Amino acid sequence: MTEPRIRPQPNPKAMEMAYLVTALKILGPQLVYGRTIELEELAEWTAGRSGLTDEEVERVLVALRSAVIHYCRGGAAVRLPGLGRFRPSIDPAGRIRMRIVPDASLSRALRNPKAYRGEIRNRANMGLSDADLKRLWDAEHPEDPLVLPLRRAG
């Protein structure tokens, strides 16, 4: 007859350690999203800069959506210069999906946080090193010290 195995009990102290991903989620910089701009407002803004009417812009945007669907259903990718590339893809289960890759110029236009006009929560924490983040976390949560990884993937 064999002895029953005794499972080690978890160390309660080990359960009270925060990890970098938690600290980043709470203390890291975060965009505070505003409202979603709907088709009518987008059409009005675009019309004011294009010489078209709001209704004409709306019709063009709806037709553009239909065109992207049409070409992607046929297996083609659609490139909209300055916006991005739309292409169909398939997953292992056979579901057809839409992949959207933003144009590099669109990504570059948003890259500079100084040019960003929206609100950034924890803006002062932008660029902190892991060690700086640990000091900040540990000061605010002494009961739950931050455990840093030995090496962070970069």
Domain definitions of the chain by residue range: 17-33+118-154, 35-116
pTM score of the predicted model: 0.70
Q: What is the signed CA dihedral for 63, 42, 54, 100, rounded to 10 degrees?
A: -10
CA atoms within 13 A on the CB side of 58: 8
pLDDT tens over the chain, length 154 residues: 555 555 444 444 444 567 889 899 999 999 999 999 999 999 999 999 999 999 999 999 999 999 999 999 999 999 999 999 999 999 999 999 999 999 999 999 999 888 899 999 999 999 999 999 999 999 999 998 998 887 666 5
Q: What are phi and psi of 18, to 5 degrees?
A: -85, 160
Q: May I ask the CATH architecture of the domain 35-116?
A: Irregular (4.10)
Q: Would you say 30 and 122 are in contact if contact means Cβ atoms under 8 Å apart?
A: yes
Identify which of 140, 151, 113, 119 has the alpha carbon closest to the alpha carbon of residue 22.
140
